[in-house]
Amino acid sequence: PPYWRTWWWYLGWLVVMVASGVWLYRNRLQRIRQHEQYLAERVKQQTQEILSQKNRADMQRVLAERARNDIGRLSEVGLQITASLDVKCILDTLYAHVFGLIDATTIGVGFVDWDNRQINFDYCMQGEQRILPYARSLDAPEQPASQCVLQGKELIIDDIAHDSSRLDVIMAQKMGMNVTALENGGRTEDSRSGIYVPIMHGGRVMGVLGVLSLRRNAFGQNELNILRTLATYVAVAYDNAEAYRR
């Protein structure tokens, strides 16, 4: 008989049909699995997007609430600062509240002595420890406080390159010491980041308000806004105190 009527011909076609059926089944199964995987990834992605949006919304609510609280607290602090005509009382009030508003380790207010071209930091705090009086020279451009005063601009320094506890060369020679120190005799911390805001009144730079942290990149726009507001209160209070003293 012709080969297409032989048993092995029929067997061959049977094998081909079975193989084709198996291939189609596996191909269909693979497509179903791929589609299921795609759907699972889409569900996961959409779930993450929803959670991310929820987290952002929650964070925005937290930040908004924090901002409202900060504004309220700043208003109260401002009233207390500007109510005094004594510089030490002004700074006492400032230091009593600032650590609750900004996560910093050191805060200092320096007032400019233009005749001697220096910034006098007579009352600064490292945590609960008072720092002994020291000064920064306006002729030491590497000093952030000097840059802030001379330029009349705010500075955010994410990574302080020099040892912040050391005095500049000019003031070290003038004061006879190389580093700042605490009242208890200890050495001040070598801070890693900071914010410096000029204290200005009527377009005149009167001093500088600065905060420092042991962490790099510790401060952002929120801390700058708070410090800017506090510097304004200090400027008004200091100007009133000087006018009263005169």
Q: pLDDT band at residue 180, thresholds of 50, 70 and 90?
A: very high
- Provide the sign of the torsion angle of the four alpha carbons 174, 179, 182, 184, taken in this order: negative
Amino acid type, 22? V
Per the confidence metrics, is the pTM higher than 0.75? Answer: no
Residues 130-148 have a mean pLDDT of 94
Alpha-carbon span 164 to 218, nearest angstrom: 15
Residue 64 has pLDDT above 60, yes or no: no
Burial (CB count <10 Å: 0-12, 13-18, 19+), residue 176: exposed
Alpha-carbon span 102 to 226, nearest angstrom: 8
Q: What angle do CA 193, 199, 205 make, to 5 degrees?
A: 115
Give the DSSP per-residue string, 25-57.
HHHHHHHHHHHHHHHHHHHHHHHHHHHHHHHHH
